Chain A
Amino acid sequence: TQLLEQSPQFLSIQEGENLTVYCNSSSVFSSLQWYRQEPGEGPVLLVTVVTGGEVKKLKRLTFQFGDARKDSSLHITAAQPGDTGLYLCAGARAQGAQKLVFGQGTRLTINP
């Protein structure tokens, strides 16, 4: 059973377009992290959201945590080829140091 479902799994769009990636669950998470992974490398942490309804911005990336802390979204404005990569959401079920549950990832391709 996949606790975190990401959609879409694959997305290919043109440079300059906007896009949204979703991360959904029926479970409540105490925090949710978004990572980006390049081929042959480890995931790189982009952001952590903690509070229900929280919105964080990282340049052209906007991250939102659902009010009930069961879902999250990543919105990219004016996508660029450098945004190409695998985007992973990961949730922690409780506070403190513990394992992360990962979604299966969204593979994003931005075409010039």
Chain B
Amino acid sequence: NAGVMQNPRHLVRRRGQEARLRCSPMKGHSHVYWYRQLPEEGLKFMVYLQKENIIDESGMPKERFSAEFPKEGPSILRIQQVVRGDSAAYFCASSPKGTGTGQIYEQYFGPGTRLTVT
């Protein structure tokens, strides 16, 4: 069973360009989460999605950032007009579809995409 896959692993963008980060969840998982890790800091939640739905985007910056998880294909985190402060490691995690209340949804992380803005 393949784990969470992210690509690219490394991405370099000039200021003002767009960055697209992709995440394929583990087989059988229908919940996807994006987190950002700045240098020497812990992971910060950005957004939680299910297929075709954004469930919680409370951690997303209001501008330039968007996320989607289409019916077919990977989840995409898009950053428009990147700035140097966007340089970070972006991690995707997935958890399985639940079948009842009270269930613990363990999250499994991908290897991350390291974005460098020059």
Q: Which residues of A contact B (CB under 8 A)?
A: 30-31, 33, 35, 40-45, 48, 50, 88, 90, 92, 95-105
**From residue B39, how far is it (CB to closest CB) to chain A in Å?**
12
For B105, give the chain A residue with the smallest CB separation.
A97
Contact B48 A99 (CB under 8 A): yes
Asked whether any CB of chain A lies closer than 8 Å to the CB of B45, the reply is: yes
**From residue A30, how far is it (CB to closest CB) to chain B in Å?**
8
| Complex: A44 Cα to B105 Cα, angstroms | 15
For B110, the chain A residues whose CB sits under 8 A away are 42
Asked whether any CB of chain A lies closer than 8 Å to the CB of B63, the reply is: no
Contact B98 A43 (CB under 8 A): no
For B102, give the chain A residue with the smallest CB separation.
A95
For A33, the chain B residues whose CB sits under 8 A away are 106-107
Give the number of residue pairs across the A-B interface with Cβ within 8 Å.
72
> Which 5 interchain pairs have the tightest Cβ spacing?
A42-B109, A99-B45, A97-B105, A104-B42, A102-B42
For A35, give the chain B residue with the smallest CB separation.
B109
B 1-15 binary contact with A (CB < 8 Å = 1; else 0) = 000101000000000
For B41, the chain A residues whose CB sits under 8 A away are 104
For B44, give the chain A residue with the smallest CB separation.
A102
| Complex: A31 Cα to B62 Cα, angstroms | 29
| Complex: A42 Cα to B26 Cα, angstroms | 14
